[in-house]
Amino acid sequence: MKYMKSTDDVTKQGSSAKEAKFKGGVIVNVGSSSAHGGRIDQGAYAASKAAIQLLTETLSLEGKAQGIHAYCVVPRRTATGMRKSIFPDEEKRNLLEPEQVARTILDVIFEANPCLSGMVYNIR
């Protein structure tokens, strides 16, 4: 599925590190609120984003022994090129800025709490 390609590529790299007895690390996947409800013409996209959330939970369990923590950040509507192409008339003031999402991802990385590994962080 094209929407999962980069997540799959990174996961394969993480699996290689795990096999090499790598100790510690943080994986942050980016999901979408589309995973929580279907939208017209976005079935594959929504399904892939739901899969990313479940993959994050699985990676958290699989990486625990090596100290690898996995989290999923799910931003609400964000001012991206893809969003603008789908909703060209949407008011930008109702959208998150990509920088806000990036800051949240950095917060998750630097505050990596093992007890919260596998969790989904919804950015509102």
Instruction: Quick: pLDDT tens for 15-34.
Output: 565 566 668 899 999 998 88
The contacts of residue 99 (CB under 8 Å, 6+ apart) are none
**What whole-number distance in Å separates Cα of residue 71 and Cα of residue 55?**
10
pLDDT at 54: 94
pLDDT at 53: 94
Domain 24-123 is in which class? alpha beta
pLDDT at 38: 75
Query: Percentages helix, strand, coil for the chain, rounded to the nearest 5?
Result: 55, 15, 25
List of the chain residues with pLDDT < 70:
1-22
pLDDT at 42: 82
pLDDT at 105: 96
pLDDT at 23: 80
pLDDT at 80: 93
Contact predicate 70/118, CB 8 Å: yes
pLDDT at 69: 94
pLDDT at 75: 95
